[in-house]
Amino acid sequence: MPAHIHEYQRAPAVEQALALLERETIETAPLIPRPRMPDDGFPAAAAVVDLQELPWDYITREPARLRIGGNTRLQTLVENAAVRSVANGVLAEAAALAAPRTLRNLATLAGALDGVTDGPPELMLALLALGAQATVQGGSAAPVALSDFKPSPKTLLVEVAVDVSVDASAALARVARTRLDLAIVAAVGAVVGQTARVAVAGAGALPFVVETTVDDAPAAVIDPLVAAVTSRAAPVGDYRGSVEYRRQMAEVLARRALEAAFAKGASA
């Protein structure tokens, strides 16, 4: 454990976890296993609260919703039949890309979403494209759109829910130096009932999603969505990709993901 951490607590219940995190006497943060460890796997706080005993490790398939607890391990998402049955298995595919299996057995759904600014974005993109909702502790009790969820040390992700009451198809497209390297740019396109969405990472400071209603031929839906991605893109260049490269790849991958999502829906 890093030297800057002077206190470790394992909370046996949600109430104790929130009480510890809300202390003002010592800087405290939740210990949430992320896909990229150990360099960025520990919070920069003097005290940490281990959440692994909280009852948020589950996957349930209801008639209208797929519910995934925040403590669910990424490898469980890869292997679970209910997860693999949703939208051509895009959630399982995205979870498999988050890390090697050794780390997928440790990292949780909450950890993958908490580290999306500097970690693998594919799982967040898949959930955004499917219109997922998040339930949190320490904030509003009512579910909120995942796109509005802002991780913080005092806001804990309880679960993510995906609507499975309508037919959905989805596809993931990405560019990276190797298969398990962090994506330079990635996109997930989805058609959920009469809504088409595409979520993109690597073309801005944070992942974003755009959507429209499906009321015409696929090309008439895809073109405006891709144009919206291009308009919203504000990439920051680095050693892995220049600003122009990221902007171009955002356009290419958004179109590729949407075309594949429509094609998979047509063949289902």
Let me know if residue 213 belongs to a domain.
yes
Does 63 reside within a domain?
no
Would you say residue 97 lies in a domain?
no
Alpha-carbon radius of gyration of the chain: 18
Distance of CA 151 to the CA centre of its chain: 12
The residues facing 182 across adjacent strands are: none
Give 149-206 pLDDT, tens digit per residue: 887 777 889 999 999 999 999 999 999 998 878 999 999 999 999 999 999 999 999 9
Whether residue 37 is contained in a domain is answered as yes
Closest CA to 20 of 141, 152, 151, 154: 154
Residue 84 has pLDDT above 90, yes or no: yes
Q: What is the per-residue pLDDT for 155?
A: 83
Quick check: is 262 in a domain?
yes
Indicate whether 231 belongs to any domain.
yes
SS3 204: coil
- The pLDDT tens digits of the residues spanning 42-68 come to 667 889 999 999 999 999 999 999 999
% pLDDT > 70, the chain: 94
- Number of separate domains in the chain: 2
Q: What is the mean pLDDT of residues 71-86?
A: 97
Decide if 196 is inside a domain: yes
Full residue range of the structural domain in which residue 241 is found: 167-268
Q: Hey, CA dihedral for 237, 243, 248, 251, is it positive or negative?
A: positive
Output the pTM of the full model: 0.93
> Cβ(98)–Cβ(123) under 8 Å?
yes
What CATH number corresponds to the domain at position 240? 3.30.390.50
Asked, for residue 215, whether it belongs to a domain, the answer is yes
